[in-house]
Amino acid sequence: MEKNDLFQIGEVSRLFHISVGTLRHYEKIGLLQPEYTDPDTGYRYYSARQFECLNTIRYLRVLDMPLENIAQFLGNRDIDHMCRLLQRQKEEAARRQQELAVIQKKIENRLSQLKDAVSSRLDSITLEKRPARRIASVKKKVLPSCYLDLEYSIRELEQLEENTVTFLGKVGLGIPAESLKERKFQPYEMVFIILDEEDCFKGDTIRIPEETCAVIRFQGGHEQAPYYYHRLMDYIEENQYRAVGFSKEITMIDYGLTNDISKFVTEIQIPVQKEAVFQ
């Protein structure tokens, strides 16, 4: 074949909108060899008959088909083979769409939580209905002096998962109702993750029913929490309620979002019921 009938690698790159580096990679893995390589200059040349093959590769790559599968097809061109590859890729695309839908929902959840945190009314106690939730938890005594002290516990919760399930502000600490009544606010006795409905968690989970909670938000982190636990318990007792479940202390804004400590926001929720009044 005459050199005049060949195309340099740069020209092929421009014609097919494929980088020179990608063409060299295809050569390296044996997917598409140049028609001719000049032994003196090392320049690579391609022929027009390779264009159809290169166009097939480009088409299948647009469909996100793995190079290994493309190589198998090129080595065994067959209609049934192509149909099987396309069907498999269609199923893979559907799976990825589901994954992206989950990611989109999680991002929407986080944006909503962050907007809520930024606009928080601080230092005010309210009674709020909290919807049913699903959590993953580990019971252990924790006395964090900073957010890094929780990292090992979080990793323990996630060790069976393929993907991380924590995402900015979902990790919390808990104190049992018995300890709250005795005003024993340290150490914490539980680390948990509040799961989104779309989270697929392989470990054990707990479904918490809807509950009424005494809630307070404050500027700061876990180190400042004991003062606010006292305030909550004062409020609960003064209004003739009682703690009926473990507290849920969640840093809504912390070092995961900002280094500015003045912008930290933590929320404490204590599930309550009205005390029975006997005549």
Q: What mean pLDDT, rounded, does the chain reach?
A: 87
Give the model's confidence band at 218: pLDDT under 50 very low, under 70 low, under 90 confident, else very high. very high
Per-residue model confidence as pLDDT tens digits over 52-94: 999 999 999 988 899 999 998 998 888 998 899 899 999 999 9
* Residue 230 scores a pLDDT above 90: yes
Closest CA to 251 of 269, 264, 232: 264
**6: Cβ contacts below 8 Å, ≥ 6 apart:** 35, 36, 45, 46, 47
What is the percent of the chain with per-residue pLDDT over 90, rounded to a whole number? 56
Q: What is the CA radius of gyration of the chain?
A: 30
Return d(Cα 74, Cα 78) in angstroms, integer: 9
Q: CA torsion sign, 101 to 102 to 103 to 107?
A: positive
Confidence band, pLDDT 50/70/90 cuts, at residue 233: very high
Contact criterion met (CB below 8 Å) for 161 and 218: no
pTM higher than 0.95? no
Q: Is 45's pLDDT higher than 80?
A: yes
d(CA 59, CA 115): 43
